[in-house]
Amino acid sequence: MGRKILFVTTDQQRYDTLGCNGGELARTPVVDGLAAHGIRYERAVPQSVVCMPSRSTMVTGQHPTTHGVYMNGVPLPVDAPSVAAVLHEAGYRTALVGKAHFEPYLDPFLRFAENALSRSGTRPPGGTHRGFEHMELATHGPLGPLHYARWLQAEHPEAAAGYYAVVDRDLEVNAGGGGDTGAPQVKVNPIPREWYHTDWVAERTIRWLEGLDQGDDWFCWMSFPDPHHPWDPPQSEVGRIDWHDVPLPAGYPERREEREAILDAKPRHWRLWYDGTLVSNYEAPAAWVPATLTTDQVREVNARNAVEVELIDEALGRVLAAIEARGWGDETDVIFTTDHGELQGDFGLLFKGPYHVDALMRLPLVWRPAPAARAAAGDVGGPGVVTEPVGLVDLAPTFCHIAGLPVPGFMQGRPLLVRDGERGSGGAGGVLTEWDSELFGVGVHLRTITKAGYVLTAYLPGTVHDGSEGELYDLEADPLQRVNRWSDAAMRGLRADLLAELSDRQPPPHEPRLQLQAPV
């Protein structure tokens, strides 16, 4: 009997939303328990801070430049390499339950396989899709032709209208607000908790696991759509956290003058978005102006976000209990992470975009290795903490390592560190992140390296950048990344070294360049 793998992802979750990472708002005892018996990563970095590129990196083990999904709306090719395919070929049973998002959701004619699958069942035509033999898909509410949306319409059609309408009648991303404060993309949702997509994803995962033979090795990617906006959890659960009592985040400068001074010291697109004069992507409602965000709206969004995080933690607990009930607990590795973060009030902003700071780039990542494997290696299985940067590009190689398989040549990461210094004094090198958006006639292009306590971002020429701008932050001295030291003479040598490594390590590009197919 081999090691089973439960890969758990959320969508758009900040590092500081977990108790084990110092979070004090949401209660996360299940993930905290995994960290107490496993490895907690202090600086896990995505290779893109938006959904489709980041998720494509997780399944391929490649950087966005190489797999080709450089922005949302660019579909991952059907024949792209996949870690699930590697595991399936080695005899693993494979499933993806919840949010995939390797292909665009705005797809009324079902051009893309993952959207069309809900019409034919849960087993892809031909046996597998991207190596998954079972796919049961969901996103945020009753959107698109996915399994959860079809289930809700068939079983509980009266509940569909309770969700926030992300896309309005003109197919624009909705900027309307609700709740007590009128915060953008907040809505009172009367749906019963057991019909909400978080519990649905957990229940469908348990159902798939129950159908396996006792001796099967399996890889299950359980992918929760929350706490990504819109913030519309079941209203019955909202009372867990009174938004009036929620403190403002450390990254939110309460005085308007201070906020704007910080933004003015960053590259130009920061302040332009804040003022509502530049919209570079579909990652936030185009009609929403960040400068209108109020302190009470920040509090209400963060309270609802924390409720969604708690529901995920409880749903994960039920899945882990089901795994224990099958007798698989000692042989199962559990990896918990997310695809990218959320601004959530930092710098007076919400949502996400081409802003490479900790709110979007420092992610929760916990790996609880199979207890039996740790015991066999003489490891008592106590808590560990890795402070060196690691990337989501390292996940696919880690799954191969867990399964006892060689890492395929197409993967560009390496198995996750299990302790600092494991790869010698040189460490693992810097971790790369990239951004390319070309939408609404606006182009923004970023290349970032995180290394040795610093984050450097170089801006390529685009609509408002001429290639000379950049950002450089000292994470120890300036953990909130308020002081941009790109032009600081004292940092000239460090900047040159980081720029040189950033340039030397750029991954090979996908040929031909893929085309944008849909806005999201």
For the segment 119-139, the average pLDDT, to the nearest whole number, is: 95
* Residue 426, pLDDT score: 45
The token duo for 475 is: 């994470």
Q: Is residue 479 pLDDT above 90, yes or no?
A: yes
Q: What is the pLDDT of residues 30-78, one digit of tens each?
A: 999 999 999 999 999 999 999 999 999 999 999 999 999 999 999 999 9
* Residue limits of CATH 3.40.720.10 in the chain: 4-158+190-245+294-402
Q: What is the pLDDT of residues 337-348, one digit of tens each?
A: 999 999 999 999
The token duo for 511 is: 């040929």
The token duo for 499 is: 């720029």
Q: Is this structure's pTM higher than 0.95?
A: yes
* Residue 428, pLDDT score: 57
* Residue 283, pLDDT score: 83
Q: Is residue 378 pLDDT above 90, yes or no?
A: no
The whole-angstrom separation of Cα 141 and Cα 166 is: 9
Q: Is residue 164 pLDDT above 60, yes or no?
A: yes
Q: What is the pLDDT of residues 356-370, one digit of tens each?
A: 999 999 999 999 999
* Residue limits of CATH 3.30.1120.10 in the chain: 431-504
Element (H, E) at 374: helix 371-376
Domain 431-504, CATH class in plain words: alpha beta
- As a CATH number, domain 4-158+190-245+294-402 is 3.40.720.10
For the segment 158-168, the average pLDDT, to the nearest whole number, is: 91
Mean pLDDT of the chain: 95
Are 223 and 201 contacting, i.e. CB atoms less than 8 angstroms apart?
A: yes
Element (H, E) at 89: helix 83-89
* Residue 286, pLDDT score: 87
Q: What is the pLDDT of residues 257-308, one digit of tens each?
A: 999 999 999 999 999 999 999 988 778 888 999 999 999 999 999 999 999 9
Residues 6+ apart with CB under 8 A from 377: none
Q: Do β-strands 431-439 and 442-451 pair in parallel, antiparallel, or remain unpaired? A: antiparallel
Dihedral of CA atoms 371, 373, 378, 384 in degrees, nearest 10, equals -60
For the segment 116-130, the average pLDDT, to the nearest whole number, is: 94
Q: What is the pLDDT of residues 450-462, one digit of tens each?
A: 999 999 999 999 9
For the segment 183-205, the average pLDDT, to the nearest whole number, is: 98
The whole-angstrom separation of Cα 518 and Cα 486 is: 35
Nearest to 323 by CA among 155, 210, 239: 210
Q: Is the peptide bond before 157 cis (omega within 30 degrees of 0)?
A: no
